[in-house]
Amino acid sequence: MLNGQLAADNLPRAVRWEEGDLYLLDQTRLPLETCMEKQETAQQVWDSIHVLKVRGAPAIGIAGAYGLCVALKDKTGLAIDEFMAEVENQAAFLDSSRPTAVNLGWALRRMVAMAKASGITDATALYDRLVAEAVAIHEEDIGLCRAMGENGAPLITEGMGVLTHCNAGSLATSELGTATAPMYVAHSRGVNFRVYADETRPLLQGARLTSWELQQSGIDVTLLTDNMAAHIMSQGLIDLVITGTDRVAANGDVANKIGTMGVAILAKHFGIPFYVCCPSSTIDLDTAHGKDIPIEERGDDEVTSFGARRTAPEGIKVRNPAFDVTPNELVTGLITEKGIICEPYTENLRAMFG
Ligand code: MRU
């Protein structure tokens, strides 16, 4: 992937639509097994999103859009008003699978709005149009990631150490990822840099996914447990932090995987720039502040166990928020497909995406 060549074809694909069927890479099995799973029902897609077989904000938006097609596939014999009611019901059902990433609701609202505005009066024709819309959402994401890669790549210069948290990579999107897109583009241009990947407890997206996909791409990646970031920063090994996000509020507050805010606070302490890669599909101008973003709470077992092994006493009280909100004042810039946005976020986000 050197000398200006982006080997995008070799990156893992989280979501595939092939001959009218949806396949999801079961990310809970990575990095030990790469297994594409055919999705037969809306319930199966809901479960796949809920248990993180498919995960990452853009990828669950794409999976949700295709999931709506899966839900409607055997309903094309219905009268158009009954079919339209199914479009709305199934979209609401799929949207309930995870609350924090705005891309899921964004993609499903786009599908429903298109169906309502289409004026199509035949269920089979409308189903075909919905499939085309899901494919469009998928293909547009490829372009968004490439543009963020172009806009963010100049931040990564020769010899740098770049820290990232969770997985905002190919596995979380359609192709280059969000936080990883500047890395893939810089790498393709022959820039030598090191990536440090936080392991990201409790579900280990950094260890299982980010370190796997970057290693496969030939990028120099070092895995850290989450509590090592401060020490590694204090040694002068980190020059830049880039993360992804699940939702950016209108004031620039950033929801991302639990632990991201701690990294941002550390970056501020050590004077390290903290950038967030966010496509427009992740910007939620209808949510004024980060405190209004719904934060998913997941099951106790993710915290009381490490893999299959229990690591905490029975009956222990547990908290398991899956995301946190980094206040906008800790964010150096938002890398979007249209360019890098800095403070004042409220004005600049509205000017660019309002
Ligand atoms: O719980 P996950 O694995 O879905 O969380 C993913 C993240 O927090 C990512 O950083 C975010 O969705 C951005 S993906 C481009």
Interatomic CA distance for residues 183 and 32, integer angstroms: 24
Tokens representing 201 are 């407890």
Which segments in the chain show pLDDT lower than 50? 1-4
Q: Specify the pLDDT at position 23.
A: 98
CA-to-CA dists, residue 29 to 57, 203, 208, 342, angstroms: 19, 12, 9, 38
- Going by CA atoms, what residue is nearest to atom 6 of ligand 1? 56
Best of 11, 103, 245, 247 for a ligand 1 pocket test (most atoms within 8 Å of beta carbon): 245
- Going by CA atoms, what residue is nearest to atom 8 of ligand 1? 257
Q: Specify the pLDDT at position 105.
A: 98
Q: In this structure, are residues 251 and 345 in contact, taking their beta carbons and an 8 Å threshold?
A: yes
Q: Which of 138, 144, 83, 84 is nearest to 339 (CA)?
A: 144
CA of 173, closest atom in ligand 1? 15
CA of 208 to the centre of ligand 1 (A): 13
pLDDT digits (tens, 9 = 90+) for 151-166: 999 999 999 999 999 9
Sort strands 283-284 and 274-277 into parallel, antiparallel or unpaired: unpaired
Q: Specify the pLDDT at position 1.
A: 45
Q: Which CATH architecture has domain 7-146?
A: Up-down Bundle (1.20)
| Ligand 1 pocket, residues with Cβ under 6 angstroms | 52, 55-58, 101, 166, 168, 172-173, 177-178, 205, 244-246, 256-257, 322
CA of 245 to the centre of ligand 1 (A): 6
The upper half-sphere exposure of residue 258, i.e. CA atoms within 13 Å in the direction of its Cβ, equals 15
Tokens representing 347 are 């004005």
Best of 28, 53, 55 for a ligand 1 pocket test (most atoms within 8 Å of beta carbon): 55
Most distant pair of Cα atoms in the chain: their distance: 66
Burial zone of 334 (CB within 10 Å; 0-12 exposed, 13-18 middle, 19+ buried): buried
Q: Specify the pLDDT at position 259.
A: 98
Q: In this structure, are residues 256 and 243 in contact, taking their beta carbons and an 8 Å threshold?
A: yes
Q: Specify the pLDDT at position 212.
A: 97
Q: Where are the domains of the chain?
A: 7-146, 150-353
CA of 165, closest atom in ligand 1? 10
- What's the CATH fold of domain 150-353? Rossmann fold (3.40.50)
Active site amino acids: 246
Interatomic CA distance for residues 64 and 312, integer angstroms: 35
Sort strands 305-306 and 339-341 into parallel, antiparallel or unpaired: unpaired
CA of 72 to the centre of ligand 1 (A): 27
Q: Which of 183, 175, 173 is nearest to 149 (CA)?
A: 183
Q: Which of 66, 57, 12, 263 is nearest to 178 (CA)?
A: 57
Q: In this structure, are residues 139 and 133 in contact, taking their beta carbons and an 8 Å threshold?
A: no
**pTM of the predicted protein model:** 0.96
Sort strands 339-341 and 283-284 into parallel, antiparallel or unpaired: unpaired
